[in-house]
Every structure is written in C-alpha cells, then in structure tokens.
Structure 1
Amino acid sequence: MITSFPTPYPDEIFHSLIARYHMYSGNLIYKHTALDLFGVPNINLNRNLPSHLGTLIDNMSNKPLNLEDLIINHTLYPYFTAFKSKKDREKVKNSMIYNNYHQPVKFGLTGTVKSEKLLQHCYKCIEEDTNKYGETYWHRIHQVPGVLVCPYHKIPLIWSSKKSFDSYYYYNFCIASSEALLDKPVEREVNEEELDLLYRYAVEAEWILSQSKYEKVYEFPLDIKKILKSKGDFFRKNGSIKHNKLYLDFKNIFSTSFLNLMQSPIKNNENSWLRSILKRNRSHPLRHILMIMFLSDSISDFNYKLNNTPPPKEEEQCPFGLGPWPCLNPTHSKYKKDVINNVELRVIRDTKLLMGVFKCSCGFVYSRRATYPESEGNYRINKISFGPLWEKKLTTLIKEGYKLQSICKKLQADQSTVKRYATLLNLEFSWKGHTLDELKKSGKYTNTKCKFEKKLSERRNLWLDLIERDQNVTSVTNSSLYRWLLRNDREWLIKNYPKSKRCKEPKRIINWEERDKELLEEIKEIIREWKRLETSRPKKITKYSLAMQSKNPNFLTNDIDKIPLTLNYLNTVIELPEQYKLRKLEWAYEHLLVNNEPLTKTKLINKAAISNNPKTNLIIEEFLLSKKCK
C-alpha cells in the first residue's frame, strides 16, 4: 500500500505527479516506482490519457486522491473528449480507470495531429512555480497538442533539446526540475502574426481544460453548418457547400505557416480535413477548435450563437455585479457604504469556484464566494483581514475596560477572534478567568508565523542530526523530513545536503596552452609507435583511434577547439580513405610475398579486404601497375 503521495499542484499533468513521487520516494530504479504505484514493474503510461488509474487509487492506504478529480483536472481527458458524446466520454473514462490502454484509439482521439515528443514549459511559469512552491512541475496546458505559446504569459514555450519524451520508454518518468532536461532549452521562433494566433488557440484550449463541469455536447458537423449559414454566403441554393469560398476565407484568416505549425495544412480537394470535418465527427479536437476560431471569436461565443442567445452584459460578466462595493469594517465611518471600486477575482483551487477579494482604503480586506443569493451576497463574508483601524479600536475598547461580549458586539467578531488579536497585540486583559499571560503560555493564539518558524527550526536540527549519523544520500532522501524541507526550506536544504560518496572532486582549472603542447608530443609519440599497434592488420589513423590510445580521450573528442597545435598536427596525419586503402594494399602485397602466395589481383583484393567497385578500381589498378602484378 502507498502510505504517502504528493499533493497535486494546480493544473499539474499526471505524468509530473508520478515523476515527483519517484523523486520524493528515493527509488533509484523506475521499475520500483511502477511496482509501488501499480503493482507491476513494467507499465506504459500514455501521457495524454493514462490508464490503470483505478489500480493506483486502490493501492493508496488513505486515499489522498479523488479518482474523478485526477481525471478531470490532471489529465487531458477534458480536451480530447470536449467534442464527444456523453456515451463516448464515459467509455474513454472507463478505459482510463481500468487497464484498457488501447481504447482511446478506437474513439478517434488520435490521428494525424501528433503530440509534441518533448515535454514543454514556460520560462515565467518556472520562475513563478519556484517562488511559490519551491519547485516547478509540468503544466497540463503546456502539453496540449498545438499549444506552443503560454496562455498566461503570451511567450513561446521551451523544450529540452537533449532527450525526447519518447525516449522515456514504458515506465520512465521525466522530472520537470531536472537540470539535465532544462539545460540548453530550445525556444520556437514565431513572427508576431503567428504569435497572436497561437496565443488565441492556447487560450481556447485552456478554457476547455478549466471547464471541469462543462457538459455541453456538440453535434458536429450540424453545429458547424448552422453557424456557417448565419456567417455568410457559404451555401448554394441546392444546399451544397461552396468549398472553394470556404477554403479561401479560411486561408485569409489562418496563414500557411500557422497551419503547418498546428499540423493542419489544408488543400482544396476531397481529402482535406477542412471538408471531412463537415461530414463526420472524427477530427482531432485541435481542428475543431480551429474551425470554431474561424466561425466565432471564442468557444463561449460559439455557444451563444448556437443557442441564439446574446452575450452577457457587462454587469453580468462579473458575478458580483458592477461596483462600487460596500466596506464591511464596523469601525469605519463608511461602514456598509459603497466605497470599494475594485474587486480581485480568484479561483478556489479545490472547488474551482470563483471568489472575490475586496480591499478598502481603511485596511479592511474581505473575500466572498460567488455562490450566495443576491439578498445576502453583498454582506456575506468568507475570510477577513481586519486591518489597523479595527485593531486600534480593539485596543481602545480593552483599555476602557469593556467586557468581552460587548467588544465582540461592537467589532462584530467572535470571542476566539478577539482573544487571538488581543494576545498578538500584547494587550493586558482578564476575561472569564483568562489573562494575557495564561493565553501566551498555552500557545493557543500564538501567531501562525511564529509556530512555523519554531517548527522550521526543529526540522533543521533534526536534519543536521540525521546527516551526521548517516551520510548515505539515498537513505536520507527517502524520509518524510527530507520531503518537508524540500517543500518549505529548499535553499537551506541544498546548502546542508550530504555529500555522496560517489560525488566527484571539483574540477581543476586546466592550463590549455600547456596541455596542448603535452598532447601534441603524446600524439607524435603514438604516430611513431603506430606500427607496433597494428598487431595483425593495418589500423586506420583517425581522430578517434588516436584518442583511444591517448591518456585522456576526452581532450580529442570534446575539447578539440581548445588544442589548436594538436588539431593542426592531426590534420596532417589523419588518413583519408584513399590513403588507408593504399596502405592496406601494401600490407597485403608484403604478406603474399612472405608466404610465397601467387600475386594475383583477386588474391590481393581479398587479402586487403577492399571492395572492387568503380570508386576504388582506379586505386587498385594503379597499385597493381606499380608492383607489376597480374
């Protein structure tokens, strides 16, 4: 049973979640991680629509993950099934829960549009993740087919040039924070027009992923034809579509280079996907989105056109209506008066519901979910930050000797809140047997920050004791203490990380001038002794063969630009193919003479192991003439 599993980050793709478990668990081999999670050592997890999810949930002891949440919010299931029927959606979902990997292919979820071979990321997202969580992770939206631009920052995505995702065969997991993968990243170059179109597509793809409870079922191609009729003159009198006009209008909006980037080039013939999407609903979701972008401004706008309903008015777009909004600070002179002009909208991570944050100039901040009825919505509060004006009034009331119940009534706060703030502000009080000193000793109303700092100090001391007792990197990283510090105190952990026994010594600074001279002499000595190295047959003089005979082969293979003297000498001694063939013929000739064998052309060619083709025939003939062989 799995006793601990990482909590998913917002929009973290399932593959990233498994990779983080592999890193936190301290498993050295990926087979061990697959065995922990799925009960089998070999498993092929599809990056877009992974299977065996039911097995994973069943193997967890405390069930920290919800199966429905995992599929909806951490896989590309919402994207690939956005234009499928409810029946097909259920079939795909069942294929992901159970061990039925080949089912997605049957529903037309794959085709000519391929997913990127390399996992993609965004420079700014990496920076934001590191600042907020202490590490980065693979974002789901960045792995959607066709998403080449970040929908949050409008910059091209990057990917590693070192290793493709396909090379992570079967049960291999790719960690986003791996320096080896993010080293020398590649960024796609796009012009301004392509950038705008790519950004627009990325925003639509992100909208689909964010609609976790969106149950709209499209009836393609009927819906497309319905909007085409209202958009322009695309139909003849007999009801047939003017494909030439559709092709030209589509090309006017989407350039050829953009369509090539989206793996969706179009041709004005029967085999074009632009025509097939109007006949049957078997096209890739990417091409459905392109068609919707052609017909309307966005998918939500497309829905309004389908239903013949106007877009929402400005006041309806904000769930809290038009401002200003009231200040709910009872100590403020403008209490319940509309003085707040701006609202900050946020999405609650767990429930995906919208929340508004209202900040007044008096310092009072409150938040409210967009789910309360209008009758009580304006004065309903979820969370509060009271601010300096409220705290000043509390100080005044305590000094004037008001009772606890009276203070709670005037400040509109419960007793626990008043006690906590009085303790934090170090105000002398005595209510129902409780005094300031007693509450401080109990620690009940101690500042959360102080508690965290105390806990942090304790964990640091435990870590130092642990690595003092055990310098084995594998054992200390396989502990809950290591994972807690990695999340909450990453910089300190890196500085106080145990040195592995396998760690290499720091690289010494090399004097390349001297090394070049030494290497030159070494190569000259190897050339002088080359005959001795050829024990049975001639050995071709190449850069690689010389490197293998030198003390440090890397200097000739990796650092060739740092040794100019040696490089110049190598260019004079390295054998060309013709030179090597002549030397082999010479060796074969001498060998036949020594063994008193007949000096025929066939014998010579076979002994020298040279093919008699038009390219080498001239070399062979000249050698035979020089030796007067038959």
Structure 2
Amino acid sequence: MLSYFPDPYENELLYSTIARYHYYSGNLSNAHTLKDLFNISTVKPSIFIPIGIKTLADKIRNKKYTVDYLLQNHTIYPLFSPFLNQKTRNHIINGVDSGKGRLNSLRIMRNYDNLKYCPLCAKEDYNKHTEAYFRREHQIPNLNICCHHNCKLKTYPISRLNVSPDSFIRFNYSLVEKEINDNRAYTDPINEKLDKVLVNSAYHLLTSNFQNAENSLRQRYLYFLRSKNYMFSRNKINELKLMTDFKNFYTEESLSYWNLNFDEKHKYNWIRRFLQRPDGSQDPIKNILLIYFLCGDLYYFFSININDELNFPFGEGPWPCLNPIAEHYGQNVITNFELVKNRSIMGYFKCSCGFTYKINIFDKSRFTNLTGSNIVEFGYEWEEKLKGLILKGYGITRLAMEMKCSDKTILRCSEKIGLRDRINSDKKYSHYIFNKNINQDQKMVNYKKRILNYIEKYPQATRSQIRRNLHSTISWLRLNDPNWLEDHLPSNKSPNFTYNNEQYWHEKDDKLYSKVLETYNLIKNQPMRLTKGRIFSKSGIKVNNFIKLPKTKAIFDSIVETIPQFVTRLVDFQCRKCFEEYGEINITKVRAGCNYYMRTNLQKLINERMDYNIRILVRSTNSG
C-alpha cells in the first residue's frame, strides 16, 4: 500500500500523475518509482495506457481509483474502445490488469514520443492548482487543436527520445512560461469544418462512456449506409457513390490536410479497406469522419438499437389506411405489415379495402406525405369506384379530381380494368401493370416468351449473344427454371480444334521448353532462387498442368531449387564476387550477402560451403 499518491486532476493523463508522484516522492531512480507503483522496474512507461494499472489501483489507498475509473477518466482508452472488436478490447484489459500484456494491438499508439499541451489550458491549470499537467485530450494522435480554446497545441520541449526509456516527464511550467502568451486562435477557413468535427467528436468520445455491446460496429455502419441509399441488394455497398459523396462533403483540400485523401479508382484505398472490415479499423479519426458523414451525431450512432429499428421500425400498430377515397382514410385500421429487405428495407401495409402502400423504414414522414411511388396497389374498392365513374361518362380531369390522383394514373388503371376506350384523351403514359408485385407464374411465362421470341428473330445467335442481350432474363430463369433454359438455348459450339490434339500439345511443349530454357540461362548466375513463380514471371508464361507437357515438366524439375540448393549456390556466388573484387574471400562480406539465411538453421551449411570455397581457392593458388 502506498503511503502517498497524488490525486489526478480533471482529465489529467495518468502518465502525468505518475510523473508528479515520481517528483514529489523524492525517488532518485526511475526504477524505484516503477517498483513502488507496479512491482516491476524493467518496463517502459506508456503515455497512453500504462501497463499494470491493476497493481497501481490496488496500492492506492483511495478505493475510488479502480482500474475502470483510471482507464475511463485518465487515459485515452475511451477514444478507441467503441471501435475495437471484443478480442482486442479483452486483450488490452487483460494486459493492463496483469502487467504482462502488450498494447501493440493499437497500431496508432506506437512510436508516439512527444507530449503536447495547450498554452491557455496550462495557464488556467497553473493558476488553479499552482502547477500544470498534461491533459489527455491534448495527446490524441494526429489532432493538434485544443477543443476548449481553439488554439494550436504546442509540443513540450522535452521529448521521450531525449531521455532514458524508463523516465517520467513532468510538466514543468517554468520551461514553457515564455510561450504561454502565444495563444493565438487557430483559424483555417479551408479546414475549419473538418477540424471542428474531429476535435469536438474526439473530446466527446473521451468524456462519454460509449458502449458497443448490443450490435457490432459493422451492423451499425450497414444500417446507416442503407439509410442513405448506399447499399445494393444482398448487403453490397455502392462504394463509388459513397466515396464521391464523402469527398464532396469534406472537400479534397481538407482530407489532404489530414492525410486522409484517397483515389476512388484504387483497389485498396483506406475507405474501401475500412468498409470491408470496420471492426478491424482502430483509427478513431477515420471512424469519426464516416460516422459524422452518415449520421451526424456520435451519440445517436451508438445509442440506437439496430435490432429494434429493424424488427419494429414503425413502432406499435395499428397503422393508417391512406386510401384517399375510403371512408376510413387516415384511421389506424391496418394491424400488420410485411417487411421486405432488398436494396432498401420497405414496410408493405395492406388494408382490408385492398389499398396497399410501402414505406421506407428510414423515411417515416411518408405516412403523412404519400407519393405515387409509394403506392403498390389501389385495391378493389378504389377500382370499383373508378369503374363506376367511367361508366357515368366522367371526363379525365374530373376523374382525377374525384379519385385524387394524376391523369396518367387514371389512364393506366382504366387500361387495367378494360375501360380505356371509354376515356377520350390523347395523353401519353407508360403501359405497365400498376401492381409491381406481379405473379411469379406470370413472370415465368413472360420471361420464357421473351427468350423464345429472341431466338425466333435471331436463329443464328449463340448462347453468349443471347446472354449479353437478355442478361437479367437469363439470370432469373437460371435460378428459377434452369432445366427449361438449358433445353431451349442453342447448344454449345465446339472450337475449331480440340485440345486433345497431339500435334497441338507437342508444339506447345516445344515452345514453352524454349522459353523456360532461355529464361534459365538469363538468371542462373544471379543471386536469386530459381522457383516456378520466378521463372513464370520472367518468361511471361503460366502453366497449371504439366500432364501433356513432358519436356517442360522435365526442365522445371531439373532447374527449380530447394532452399538448401539455393543457399549453396548463393554462397558460391558471394565467394566468387568477393574474390573478384578484393582478391580474397572475406568471410564477413560473404556472411553479409547471406544475412537472411544466417538467422535460420542453414547457418551450418553456409559455414561449410565457405570453407569449401576457401579450400578450392587455396588449392588453385598453390597449383598456380
């Protein structure tokens, strides 16, 4: 139990508190302080999350300072924890508890050796506590603006690179007192929006205990991506549209300033890798930018229960019927709905009058502002009234007023019920059945008819040509009736020659043999291992099966090297090169040339081969 340990100030970095303890305890050696606090004297103190916090918490008399309290209030762990998967989170907790863990799991925390401070915060702290300290919100990697005063952070003059690894750097106010007056506000009109988002959001993460237990980070991102229409069907992301909008939202200049710009065409840019595996991305800055872009609010992003939103997106029923000509219009008479997940997630509501409409779960305002695209089917009651009004001789304008829809909707529906010829109108409209949920059997008939008509019109068309011109039709029939499709498509056309032709394989074998032999002669005297992959790369050929290529297989078997064979040739090469340049075999230079393999179990082989080359050289010198 420690007889004394200073109380950490508000948002003080735990490393700073330990440094103050070292100063006030009077310990002359850093190892003594480490032994006092962590029962170990051979550990490098970490700025971000000191290892062995549990041991420290057990030794402090004030039981308020538990492991969880110190982690949440005096380290920057809360900034990272919402974006870590459970395995990494447990690894860190176990590490700080046992004192034997490694914090290299957080790649962004590595090699961080400079402490930062805000001049105005330091002055306020000194006036209030008669000493300054390092605040944790100022140590966030890549952020250099104070979230309290909007001034640029300064680097403390003493770096960890200039002191011993086990040293503690205490904030000495006298060292920076001259720079305290330089407190100009940070202004950058180009990056102001992005700076404000990052700094304020990072501080909000630090001071709020966000938990991500209910849903994984990936589930949350997919939910909000779908809400912004960045999803195709089957959970595929429209990456190009997302990246374009993301750049327009933050501007390329701001992203370049933070080293976060990217090329949309590059296959492995950071945003593509991020979307593929968000649970594995530990950089809070990238997470903050994407969350703010998709959601605009960190608290809402982490507090929303995705399962409830997906299972009960429209709250508890009943829900209103929106049939404009029904007596029960606007009344809550619909007791259930069907949830359909495709490119977007839609709720289908069907009333007893037959009127059916759909609402996107991310656009619930449509309950009071229904548009034509939301109507799936008007229903029998609506159609019966339309039929009666048409038979009474109503004109199209009056029909549209009575039925509370557009002229074109009247024309389409009148065609559906077979009364189009009773309406005198030359207006153009699209000829399709209003109910888009067409019967599957009818869809099957239509698609088969489309295939047969195309084959009748183009009798010489091949399977590939039909597939290119009727891609969606072919794909749908392949899933729903593959046997019919196979029976009615043209048969596969055979190529002009057969791959079983002996003459063809004999010529190909000779050609490949010549290329491999030519490549071998070019690289056999170079210090590189002869492998199939290297020969393929250098010669520009690729062979997966050597069954019908006996000569090519034979030359590959004779020239491809095992690792010991290559090491033997490499030692010979280095010895020969050393003798040509210096007139002698320098063992140090030969070993340097074989450095990679000196660290393996081939070291004995290398030494024996060097001795062999030296004996050969001595023998040739004596005989000469």
TM-score by length of structure 1 reads: 0.44
Does 1 or 2 have the higher relative contact order (CA < 8 Å, sep 6+)? 1
TM-score by length of structure 2 reads: 0.44
